[in-house]
Structure 1
Amino acid sequence: MADTTYASPAAGLPPQAALHTGRAVFTEAYALIPHGVMRDIVTSYLPHWDQTRAWVIARPLTGFSETFSQYIMEVMPGGGSTRPEPNPQAEGVLFVVDGQASLTVEGKTHLLKPGGYAFLPAGCAWSLANKGSFPVRFHWVRKRYEAVDGIEAPTAFVANEQDEPIIWMPGTNNTWGTTRFVDPTDLRHDMHVNIVTLEPGAVIPFEETHVMEHGLYVLEGKAVYRLNRDWVEVEAGDFMWLRAYCPQACYAGPSRFRYLLYKDVNRHMKLDL
């Protein structure tokens, strides 16, 4: 595998002597999918993707979290897709955690290395190929775009998180911050996929309780995370799936703690259930 500082699934299978003492849990307000259960046996193969498999770690689920899906994709050398997105109303974000992906968007090709980020608006033409010698792994977050009359749709862009600044929260002495790929006031966008960083010992010092749904994939480090009524230990490779209004807070561990964060934003609440 290529060098990377980002976590990705363990794959394979645990030994037959392994104990059933994992941390996986599904509750009325959150799910925790620890890295140790993201194994070969739970992967899926997607239409029009060659030499590719996916861990589906979030999907719209009535009564739980309804706005997005999230996959961890693994594309082997020579694999990829020229017809990746089957839904013309779906926008997407790709975030590479291992290997290198050749991404072509509207006829222009980009090389995405670890930390590479791409926003793909609904209806845009894109394809992806692994032209390297190692597997490439990346997150693919998908959401049905909510168009607004009088506001133009967002356009595609490619970035790398290592080139983007961390915006530190005021009063935290630069210990809790967010790497943002989209201006929060840009109303063209109805979802944000950011990276949150907490330095060793930093905290989210209150129980955030809000309407936004979350997917949190731990890229690095470990922490104790408040999820609804529970304090839960999490570490690199774990995924937390939060429904709206699930209280959350955090105490970071002994090393830098970072996670990829999805949330839905900037739209009126639907009144027709």
Structure 2
Amino acid sequence: MSTYGLPADGLPPQTALHTGRAVFTESYAVIPRGVQRDIVTSYLPGWDKTHVWVLARPLSGFAETFSQYVLRIDPEGGSDAPEPDDGVESVLFVTDGRPVLTLDGREHALAPGGYVYLPPGANWRLRNPQRMDATVVWVRKLYEPAPGLAVPDAIITNEQHHSPAAMPGTKGDWATTRFVEPQDLRHDMHVNLVTFQPGGVIPFEETHVMEHGIYVLEGKAVYKLNRDWVEVEAGDFLWLRAFCPQACYAGGPGPFRYLLYKDVNRHPRLRGPWAGR
């Protein structure tokens, strides 16, 4: 089983150099694991014994479609009313511990690698009944209905039950684990796992309308973001606005893996309450 990157927690010693890799630009941000410390956590209404690193939220003129958190849920912590907003869909990905999801009154024991899609209006709660902490990545998006399409069903699974699909012509050096069929237009976001073997690359500068939240789960690589090459490792978060050029080179020595959010399958809104969101 993979070991996933977690926040650094705690504080560096007073003797540590403060120079690091954190950067916020007009088109991307890098929030390294080393700056995800207790001092920057939040607490959320409806959640108890839970520290929250808010890594992304809608910003006008930047990435506008989603928010992304890392939750560290202490023993006996969690929430019976986790989602305060109507119309929001979520993905949960477990990176540590064994929390329990209750959906429509039925309990589901989760483990590292656990993946949950929760449609808007889902009746769910999340608790950690164990003696050890649980850590969960939480992606939230306001669901955009489309004419003739039903709301998607909930998904509860684990990455171990899904085989990565090799990208064309890569012989498996670049592969994607998908939990939703790309042709299923009920879904207006995809949250996938991307894996590069040592030496694997994105061999061109992707430039597209989709926003990204990229949470590095394992390994290290260099990532091309707009004009810059940046080095990233497990636990880092990359936040990309629409049309930010991007590429990747995974130098090894082991696989490089990340959880990838992108908004898909909808017309850009030109007017009305969704415009600019």
TM-score of the superposition, structure 1-length normalised?
0.98
Q: Find out whether 1:198 has 2:196 as its counterpart.
A: yes
The answer on whether the counterparts of 1:221 and 1:253 sit within 8 Å (CA) in structure 2 is: no
Report the counterpart of residue 230 of structure 1 in structure 2: 228
Encode CA deviations 1:195-252: one digit per residue, 9 max, x unaligned.
0000001111000000000000110000010000001111111100000000000100
Report deviation, 1:109.
Answer: 1.0
Report the counterpart of residue 66 of structure 1 in structure 2: 64
Report the counterpart of residue 265 of structure 1 in structure 2: 264
Report the counterpart of residue 77 of structure 2 in structure 1: 79
Which amino acid is 1:143 matched to?
K
Report the counterpart of residue 46 of structure 1 in structure 2: 44
Which amino acid is 2:184 matched to?
D
Encode CA deviations 1:84-139: one digit per residue, 9 max, x unaligned.
00012100000000001100111211111000000000011001110111100000
- Counterparts of 1:157 and 1:222, CA distance in 2: 29
The answer on whether the counterparts of 1:89 and 1:145 sit within 8 Å (CA) in structure 2 is: yes
- Counterparts of 1:55 and 1:216, CA distance in 2: 15
| 1:123-202 correspondence runs (5 A) | 123-202=121-200
Instruction: Work out the number of aligned pairs and report it.
Output: 271
Report the counterpart of residue 94 of structure 1 in structure 2: 92
Unaligned runs of 5+ in 1: none
Report the counterpart of residue 107 of structure 1 in structure 2: 105
| 1:25-40 correspondence runs (5 A) | 25-40=23-38
- Counterparts of 1:188 and 1:105, CA distance in 2: 20
- Counterparts of 1:4 and 1:165, CA distance in 2: 14
The answer on whether the counterparts of 1:52 and 1:76 sit within 8 Å (CA) in structure 2 is: yes
Unaligned runs of 5+ in 2: none
TM-score of the superposition, structure 2-length normalised?
0.96
- Counterparts of 1:11 and 1:67, CA distance in 2: 28
- Counterparts of 1:101 and 1:253, CA distance in 2: 34
Report deviation, 1:20.
Answer: 1.8
Which amino acid is 1:271 matched to?
L
| 1:8-27 correspondence runs (5 A) | 8-27=6-25
- Counterparts of 1:53 and 1:222, CA distance in 2: 26
The answer on whether the counterparts of 1:167 and 1:179 sit within 8 Å (CA) in structure 2 is: yes
CA RMSD of aligned residues (A): 0.9
1:206 to 1:4, Cα distance in 2 relative to 1, 3 A: closer
The answer on whether the counterparts of 1:199 and 1:257 sit within 8 Å (CA) in structure 2 is: yes
The answer on whether the counterparts of 1:70 and 1:140 sit within 8 Å (CA) in structure 2 is: yes
- Secondary structure class of the residue paired with 1:104: strand
Report deviation, 1:4.
Answer: 5.9
